[in-house]
Amino acid sequence: MGIEGIGARVARKEDKRFITGAGRYVDDMVVPGMKHAAFVRSPHAHADIKKIDVKAAEAMPGVIGVLTGKQLKADGIGNLICGWMIHSKDGSPMKMGAWSPLAVDRVRYVGDAVVVVVAETKGQARDAAEAVEITYKERKSVSDAVEALGKGAPQLHPEADGNLIFDWGIGDAAATDAALKTAAHITRVNIVNNRLVPNAMEPRAALGHYDKAEDHYTCWTTSQNPHVARLVMSAFYNVAPENKLRVIAPDVGGGFGSKIYIYPEEIVCLWASKKTGVPVKWVADRTESFLTDAHGRDHHTTVEMGFDKNNKIVGLKVDTIANLGAYMSLFSSATPTYLYATLLSGQYNIPAIYGNVRTVYTNTAPVDAYRGAGRPEATFVLERTMEIAARELGVSPAELRRSNFVTAFPHQTPVIMCYDAGDYGTSLDAAMKQADYAGFAKRKAAAAKKGKLRGIGMSCYIEACGIAPSAAVGSLGAGVGLWESAEVRVNAVGTIEVLTGSHSHGQGHETTFAQLVNSRFGVPLDSVSIVHGDTDKVQMGMGTYGSRSGAVGMSAIVKALDKVEAKAKKIAAHLLEADEGDIVIENGQLKVAGTDKNVPWFQMALAAYTAHNLPQGMEPGLKETAFYDPSNFTFPAGCYICEVEIDPETGKTDIVQFVAADDFGNIINPMIVEGQVHGGIAQGVGQALLEGAIYDGSGQLLTASYMDYTMPRADDLPSFQISTSNTPCPGNPLGIKGCGEAGAIGSPPAVINAITDALGHENLTMPATPQKVWAALRSGSKH
């Protein structure tokens, strides 16, 4: 490890501009002649649009255009789609309802976009939006997924009878039922996974610019995957063909999944730019973010886990109802299926598993992948169940887990996944030691003397990152491949540009990707630039989500670097009159191994471009491209332990200790990994203690601002004690597993297991607010 190479705690190159306010976000972009858009949104959860009168709005000062869904349809703009086909158990395809970027005859959730106003200023656009008169006829609405499946629930889409989108199964139902019949003990749990609002620091934004002379569109947008945005907007929404559409995702202030998807607003800004003849910018305000960013989670699940007389798991049966909101967002079907139920084996040997998932339309914001995406839901199901089972069986939660751990690899689970490597016992031991698990009873007694209730809980999670390979996901219904691309350009003086299909929206790629190049060629970090986020600069790529940029994105860079290295060695061998097999790269020089003969990196690069003295037949230049398609998912895993103290008078829970022992495989920059774990745990603790999106009976979002939606703050969190054990991933050249989501996946069950330990019963749902914990202390009933 060099001081800037793989494994070094290098400060993030990009932070200088971020912390000095010099980042360049979509809202910082200004195009000559640019105007501003405001959307008129539905105030109703479910209603027919009877009449839209735009006359008064059109007459308002500064108004350039007031456009409706009818006009949008007339121009051939397509409906938004879900890009992952799921088939129900009976073989029928999922029932996708139509989602027009601007609603035409019906609105299905509060915030549904109906009309767009373009005006000289943002204020004028808003003023005019208020003057648009829309006559609605309200319909009965439903926001709860279980109710939406019930008799008498209002029907949202004609395509989906009874609001059921699909009824899907995974695993072997008969074998699981048979296994549960033999069980000596069955633990049964009902689990609700609360709905969350992503709350990226930067709200969504789009700037659409149609250039009439070139018949060409440019879209600046807050995207985690600008190439996918271009592909989908071209292929499905008929905005423009790919060669006439450039999508730029500049600095993006957090995504957490919510900026993967293509939303109505970017499509409408592009279309409206052509329609009005001016570049059109829209930036969401915080209320729009709450109402219209794709929400996360929202599952209702029943679990049955059977154990034999030796406390070995014999079978697991899971039945889940997942709320997908009013429309199917881009990857909404994959999240509660292949990203969820495929992880139901956890870290355990489970011979028989069956998972049934029904997805449902409701009059709420669309729900899609949010940090962890299906894996937090699976982990919460399993790790709550394991803890409850241990309490029912009267055995140590740690030992119940340990005795069921998978210990031999590769391990084929009954739910598709084949785990390649792992060492779950090591993480469990590390976490228990760090947490002084053995000393808990003493701490509990000390807390009791102060009038506090102390509890401890753990969670042993596994997740799957770098979702792949493309052929496999294609066979499961994905509309895209899940590879990544890279291009490495060595300039004539030896500096390097890496063009990547990954997209950084906080991850630190500009630093970690450069560290990889430094490790390979000895070029200083300052001489390596990472280019991303622009479809005109970077070849087709798939973007960043699911902790894939290390495992998949960097692997593509490795492949391109391999090619660069091979050519560089050929050139050096030629210059040094040596055999190319004898050339090694060390400290920024290409050397003949075992001698002092060398050519500096920059001289080799110059030779490649002067082309005065290259090997016979070699093309000038030094630039290579690679596409990398992984052979398997990667499987980060770990053990989290949470210790809480509850104030019984108020119900307030304080996390007094939080230990995370993760196995992320090889690590590029430990500091950045720690930052990811800290942020992930903060979000997980947020879900467990604080956050929850609540719709009232009429479909209004009650938690639509920070006055009512509780974000985690620094004083809600302890100092985390984190460590890593690194079992390299055998599936990719760097041995990386991914670390972006683990914190959010592993922490919620650890927190709830700790609180229920303190309470002495299981009757508690997330978020465990002071009011709920106070009430739970008084109820005392069992789950």
Partner 1 sequence: MYSVNYHRATSVVDAVKKIKTGDAKYLSGGMTLIPAMKTRLAAPSDLVDLNHIADLKGIKVSGKTVTIGAATTHFDVANDEKLMKVCPALCALASHIGDPAVRHRGTIGGSVANNDPAADYPSALLALGATIVTNKRQLAADKFFKGLFETALKDDEIVTAVTFSAPAKAGYAKFPNPASRYAMTGVFVTKGKEGVRAAVTGAGDDGVFRSKEVEAALTKKFEASALEGVSVPSKNLMADLHASPEYRANLVVVMAKRAVMAANA
Least gap, CB of 640 to partner 1 (angstroms): 23
Contact 628, 736 (CB under 8 A): no
Q: Would you say 449 or 612 has its CB closer to partner 1?
A: 449
User: The tokens of 753 are what?
Assistant: 């297991």
The torsion angle over the Cα atoms of residues 69, 74, 77 and 79, rounded to 10 degrees, is 60
User: The tokens of 156 are what?
Assistant: 């949202």
Q: Would you say 75 or 649 has its CB closer to partner 1?
A: 649
Cα–Cα–Cα angle for 381, 382, 385, rounded to 5 degrees: 85
Least gap, CB of 765 to partner 1 (angstroms): 14
Least gap, CB of 25 to partner 1 (angstroms): 20
Contact 301, 381 (CB under 8 A): yes
Q: Is 440 helix (H, G, I), strand (E, B) or coil?
A: helix
Least gap, CB of 727 to partner 1 (angstroms): 39
Handedness of CA 709, 713, 716, 722 (dihedral sign): positive
Q: For the packed helices 742-759 and 770-779, what is the interaxial angle rounded to 10 degrees? A: 40
Least gap, CB of 752 to partner 1 (angstroms): 17
Pairwise CA distance, residues 139 & 107, whole Å: 10
Pairwise CA distance, residues 461 & 411, whole Å: 16
Q: For the packed helices 397-404 and 375-393, what is the interaxial angle rounded to 10 degrees? A: 120
Q: Would you say 307 or 709 has its CB closer to partner 1?
A: 709
Least gap, CB of 780 to partner 1 (angstroms): 16
Q: Would you say 120 or 308 has its CB closer to partner 1?
A: 120
Q: Would you say 391 or 772 has its CB closer to partner 1?
A: 772
Least gap, CB of 449 to partner 1 (angstroms): 18
User: The tokens of 13 are what?
Assistant: 């190159």
Q: Would you say 9 or 286 has its CB closer to partner 1?
A: 286
Contact 539, 489 (CB under 8 A): no
Least gap, CB of 687 to partner 1 (angstroms): 14
H-type alpha helices, 394-525: 397-404, 424-434, 440-449, 470-475, 509-521
Q: Would you say 596 or 715 has its CB closer to partner 1?
A: 715
Residue type (1 letter), 180? L
User: Burial code of 447-469, b = ≥16 C-beta within 10 A, e = fewer?
Assistant: beeeebbbbbbbbbbbbbbbbbb
Pairwise CA distance, residues 100 & 97, whole Å: 10
410: preceding bond cis by omega (within 30 degrees): yes
Q: Catalog residues that contact partner 1 under the rule CB under 8 A.
A: 123, 126-127, 287, 649-652, 690, 694, 702-703, 706-711, 769-771, 774-775
Q: Would you say 123 or 780 has its CB closer to partner 1?
A: 123
Q: What is the DSSP string of 306-334?
A: EE-TTS-EEEEEEEEEEEEESS--TTTTT
Q: Would you say 169 or 770 has its CB closer to partner 1?
A: 770
Handedness of CA 65, 69, 73, 77 (dihedral sign): positive
* Residue labelled with tokens 């689970």: 413
Least gap, CB of 778 to partner 1 (angstroms): 9
Q: Which contacts of 7-12 are long-range, i.e. CB under 8 A and separated by 24 or more positions?
A: 7/667, 7/668, 7/669, 7/670, 8/515, 8/669, 9/669, 9/670, 9/671, 10/511, 10/515, 10/525, 10/669, 10/671, 11/511, 11/671, 12/508, 12/510, 12/511, 12/672
Q: Would you say 51 or 778 has its CB closer to partner 1?
A: 778
Q: Would you say 338 or 709 has its CB closer to partner 1?
A: 709
Least gap, CB of 707 to partner 1 (angstroms): 4
Pairwise CA distance, residues 125 & 213, whole Å: 27
Q: Which residue, 28, 108, 98, is CA-closest to 328? A: 98
Least gap, CB of 702 to partner 1 (angstroms): 6
CA distances from 667 to 64, 510, 536 (A): 53, 16, 31
Q: Would you say 2 or 648 has its CB closer to partner 1?
A: 648
Q: Would you say 81 or 776 has its CB closer to partner 1?
A: 776
Least gap, CB of 513 to partner 1 (angstroms): 37
Least gap, CB of 36 to partner 1 (angstroms): 15
